[in-house]
Each structure stands twice: as C-alpha cells, then as structure tokens.
Chains A and B, each alone.
Chain A
Amino acid sequence: MSAPTLDRPAAPDEAALQAHFDATIAADKRVEPRDWMPEGYRKGLIRQIAQHAHSEIIGMQPEGDWLLAAPSLRRKAILLAKVQDEAGHGMYLYSAAETLGADRADLTDKLIEGRHKYSSIFNYPTLTYADVGVIGWLVDGAAICNQVPLCRSSYGPYARAMIRVCKEESFHQRQGYELLMTMMRGTDEQRAMVQDAVDRWWWPSLMMFGPPDDDSPNSAQSMAWGIKRHSNDELRQRYVDMSVPQAEALGVTLPDPELRLDPSTGRYRFGQIDWDEFKRVISGNGPANAERIARRRAARDDNAWVIEAATAYAEKHAS
C-alpha cells in the first residue's frame, strides 16, 4: 500500500499532533487509521498485529493435521469449522495491519523468511486426537486471556477485529473442553491420551504469555500506548488461576508438583518455567518450526501461478 498522494494542507507542527495523540490515549479513546500517530506506535502495532495474524495462520497446521483423520463426522465438522475460523482471523488481522500501511503479501514473505515471529506454541506437534481438545482448552484459553483485553486496545481496527476473534476463540475453547470431557468419559486409553496431551501442552501454554515482565523489552511502551492492557505475568497468573479448577473438573493432573493454592492471596503459585526452552523454540529451534514454515512457503510458491493468473485476468477484464 503506498502513501496517499493527494495534496494536503500544510501539516500542523509535530508537537501539536503528538499532543493530540497523547490526549487521545490518555482519554482512553481510539486511534483510527487516518489519525496522526508516532512512528514507533505504528511500527509496534504492525509488529504485534502481524505476529498475531501469523500465529492464526501457522496455528491452522497443528490441528489441521487431524482434519482428515477426525474420528467422527461430528468432530470433523467442528474441527474443519475451527480451522476455517482461524484463516478468517488471519484475514481480519492482516487487514488491520494493512490499515497501518503494511501489505499482506509482504508480511507473509517476512514470516516465511524468518524475519517475523509467531506464537511459539504452534511449533509443538499434535501427537494424538486429545491434542485437538487440549489445544482448544489450554491454547485457545491462554489466547483468550491474552486477547480479551485487546478488544480495548487503543488502535480502533485492531480492537474491533479482536471482538470477533475473541467470540470465536471462546467457542473453540468450549468445543475443545467438551471433546476432553467426552474422552474422559470414554475408555482408559482415551483418558491416558488426555493426560498425556495435558502433560505436553501445559508448560508451553504458560509460555504463550511471553517472557517475564522483567525481561519483556517491548511491554512497557506497549502498555503506555494502550496497545497492551495487562503485563505478561499478570495475564499468566490469571490463566493459571482459572485453569486449575477446570483441570480438576476434567479429572486431569497439571504436570507441576509445585502448583498449589496460596491461601494468603487466593491465587495459585506455580513452578519455574523453562525459559531456555521458550527461547529455543521462539528463535526457530522447536520441534516443528521448520515444518510449519516449509508448508507456508510451499503454499505460497507452489500456487504462485494461481495468484498470477487471477491478477492477469483481473487486469484483462478491468473496465
């Protein structure tokens, strides 16, 4: 997307624009695409929204791997609809990034070239069908905790996209939890599958909230600008507090011997997160990073001729 070329009246001075922007943020009002905004705000938002969009699109893969094998037609319908929703989320989010001057194809290239990150959780493989349920419950659950506050993000298009995204995520989470409830009522083998999936996904789901507050370089500025609303550690704690009773209701054990209720605060204390693993996975060395990106690259490259054809056709038939 190129910068508008229309003639504009002489720009008001930068200090006045900055003051107007600051007042908008202070009053908890929305910044809209045509409003002046500091360059850092624009760049920070593009980075965050693109990272979120990439996560939706890469996130289609781990569950998508079970689409062909879903063990009942009802589960196949639920999963196919969910994977479809994720493609839709990616579309809204790339569109929100485009209102800031970014371009979807360029953002996709940056993802494929490894210049953009996405949520590290999607670099873990889905080993059994219970993983589909646990991704719904824990991964979508953690995403909801992260994302619901973004419905009040200071940037209007992002906030509005997040309202719809969150409604659908909450749907997915319930569907995932319901799958697990059903499996827990099934055979011993199914119960073991659920526990095994919880064992594998619990810690990575805690990492979804990002590095601890004292090691999160972009957080302070994002909070000041109203792009983020709560700190990583605060959201992580909220997620743990909500998940423990749900695990109990389900009848699974969370794989953390140090997890216990602190009676003085009413909140759960939990063990040390393996941040070395987090850094390893986020920097491209998780179990499935290469596979995830390779598939995205193949979808782009193998079908480039389709996009070229559609473009050529549109040009021929433009009137």
Chain B
Amino acid sequence: MAHEETVYDALDHAHGGEGQWAFGTGFDDPLAGVDTTVPEGIDPADLGVYCLMLGDDALVLCQRLTQWATNAPELEEEVALANSGLDLLGQARLLLARAGSVGVLGRSREQATDSIPDEDALAYFRDADEFRNTALVEAENGDFARTMVRLLVASAWRLALFTRLRTSRDPVLAAIAAKGVHELTYHRDHAARWLLRLGDGTTESHRRAQAGVDAVWPLTADLFTATDVERRLVEAGVAVDPAELRDEVTGVLTMVVERATLAVPAWPADAAPSGRLGRHGPELTALLADLQGLARQHPAATW
C-alpha cells in the first residue's frame, strides 16, 4: 500500500496528548502565550468593553456572511465569502478573548460553566442587550448586491479604524489590528470590485446595486459617534475617535459608488450610539438564536 493509503489507518493511534494532530483543533486559547497585562493608565473595564464592540461587529458580520454558504452565485464566491467570514471570526475570537482576559464577561458567566472558554462564554451566553455591535452589521443580508454594499461599508470603516489602532497603547489590541489590516484590505477590495461589476453591469444589476446602496447608507448614522467608553480610551491612547474616520471612509465609499455609475445618497445625520450601548432590533435576536441555541442547550458540554 502506498504511503498515502495508510493515512486513514493511522487515525486511531494519531491522537493523544499532542494538540496539533488535527490542525485547528488544539488552539483552545486564541491568546495563548500572549502577555495580557494591561498597561498603566488604562481602565481594564473600558478596554474590555471596547474589545466587545469590535469583536461583536466581527462575530455578527461573520454570521451574516456565513448565511451565504451553499447559496452563493458562484463557487469562487463560496470560497471568498467563507474566507472573509473566517478572517472576521478570527478577529472576533481574539477580541472576545482579550475582553475576557481583562475580566469583562458581562452576565455570561451566570450561565456558562467553567469549562467554557471566555470567548465562547461571551459569544454564546450573553443576551442581545449585552451585544455591542452596530446596526450596520446586524441588518439582514438582502440580495447579493446589498450584501456586497454592506461588506464594503463595514470593511472600509473597520480598515480605517484598524490602520490607526496599530499604534494603540494596548499592545494586544495593536497586534490584533495589525493582523486585521491585511484581511480587511482584501475584504474591502473584494466588495468594491463586485460593486463596480454590479453597478456597471446590466440594467437589473444596476437597479439592485442602487437599491443596496440606498438601503445601507442610513445604517452609517451612528458609525462616527463615540461612546463615553471610546472617549475615555481615546484620552488614554488606546482607542480611536470614530469621528476621525469619517473623511477616509466617506471618501472611499463615494469614489467606489461613483465609479460603479451609481448615485451617492446623502449621508445621514449623525446619530447617538445605539447598538454600541446594547440597543438592537429583532434581527439581532434572530441571529443570536441561531448562533447560541445549541451551545445553550448543553451548557455543561465540551466541544
């Protein structure tokens, strides 16, 4: 039997203490080996909440992109959407673990047993009112055009933020941002290219792309308004004031939408933070029911 043909044969003696024998299954703690000490002058509670904001954005958008799995227009797009989802999931895991490492766990530990790691306690055992994602990521996908417009807006905003967070005074957050910049550059590019094709494709795709832009634009209202937590962290050199991102984000979006031969709608008036404070619509409740149902059904289980 050729060497490759013994692969299956070796399965039952391949396990044991070595966590790496099946890739990806051994990485229990996303922050393993990382110094998680909080630098002086930074309030750990604020830092944790900020990580939840950014982690929840990533987790919720990952869940939205994953809804396209097996439903995408082409196999290449199955691969691309799953890939972007995986990048966001990776960012979410790091950010939620960072929140857990500074003791910000909300009410999640009331239900999650000790054997459940922080990232999962936070993802699976918080209710909607403890999620701090923006309305932009929780909105339904709509059709492929609207999905791409939302991905474009979300990744343009997040890329502008992560580019700046690379110099955050929290070294863990800075490292997460540095890694994320490469991923988000790709996501923004991918979505922008699709918007060009859809806007400047057929009459039907133009109509749908414009409808997507028109539907997503109002969701940007609270993207440039800081919460109190962010304001304090800006002072401490940890966070970026989202108002600072406005010119870059609106500039990029205007350029792409115009090149896609679409009309740029008026930017909505700034709104006070809402999702960041735990106020959400029924879309998030439904999304969390899918995400959390199984884990909550078996709170003592290990997976």
Measured CB to CB, the residues of A under 8 A from B are 57, 60-61, 64, 67-78, 80-81, 83-84, 87-88, 90-91, 94, 129, 137, 141, 144-145, 148-149, 151-152, 166, 170-171, 173-175, 177-179, 181-183, 185-187, 189-190, 239, 242, 245-246, 248-250, 295, 298-299, 302-303, 305-314, 316
Please tell me if the beta carbons of A78 and B25 are within 8 angstroms of each other in the complex.
yes
User: A73 is contacted by which of B7, B9, B79, B120 (Cβ under 8 Å)?
Assistant: B120
Query: From residue A258, how far is it (CB to closest CB) to chain B in Å?
Result: 22
Extra inter-chain contacts (16) besides given A144-B8, A309-B198, CB under 8 Å: A60-B70, A61-B70, A64-B69, A67-B66, A73-B89, A74-B28, A83-B82, A87-B82, A170-B8, A171-B23, A177-B15, A179-B303, A186-B302, A303-B73, A306-B198, A313-B197
In the bound complex, residues from chain A placing their C-beta under 8 Å from that of B144 are 303, 306
In the bound complex, residues from chain B placing their C-beta under 8 Å from that of A183 are 301-303
In the complex, what distance in Å separates the CA atom of A171 from the CA atom of B25?
Answer: 11
Please tell me if the beta carbons of A306 and B9 are within 8 angstroms of each other in the complex.
no
The chain B residue with its CB closest to the CB of A307 is B73
In the complex, what distance in Å separates the CA atom of A74 from the CA atom of B201?
Answer: 39
In the bound complex, residues from chain B placing their C-beta under 8 Å from that of A178 are 15, 21-22, 25
In the complex, what distance in Å separates the CA atom of A38 from the CA atom of B79?
Answer: 35
In the complex, what distance in Å separates the CA atom of A135 from the CA atom of B92?
Answer: 27
Query: From residue A62, how far is it (CB to closest CB) to chain B in Å?
Result: 10
Please tell me if the beta carbons of A148 and B4 are within 8 angstroms of each other in the complex.
yes
Q: Which 7 A-B pairs have the closest CB atoms?
A: A309-B201, A309-B205, A303-B73, A174-B22, A84-B82, A87-B78, A306-B73
In the bound complex, residues from chain A placing their C-beta under 8 Å from that of B116 are 72
In the bound complex, residues from chain A placing their C-beta under 8 Å from that of B215 are none
Judge whether B266 is part of the interface by a CB distance below 8 angstroms.
Answer: no
In the complex, what distance in Å separates the CA atom of A141 from the CA atom of B79?
Answer: 23
In the bound complex, residues from chain B placing their C-beta under 8 Å from that of A166 are 4, 7
Query: From residue B286, how far is it (CB to closest CB) to chain A in Å?
Result: 11
In the complex, what distance in Å separates the CA atom of A175 from the CA atom of B22?
Answer: 5
In the bound complex, residues from chain A placing their C-beta under 8 Å from that of B86 are 77, 80-81, 84
In the bound complex, residues from chain B placing their C-beta under 8 Å from that of A94 are 75
Can you pick out 29 interface pairs between chain A and chain B where the beta carbons lie within 8 Å of each other? A60-B69, A61-B70, A68-B66, A71-B303, A72-B120, A77-B24, A80-B86, A84-B78, A91-B76, A148-B4, A151-B4, A171-B22, A178-B21, A178-B22, A179-B25, A187-B298, A187-B301, A189-B298, A190-B302, A239-B8, A249-B12, A298-B71, A299-B71, A299-B72, A302-B71, A305-B202, A308-B204, A309-B205, A311-B201
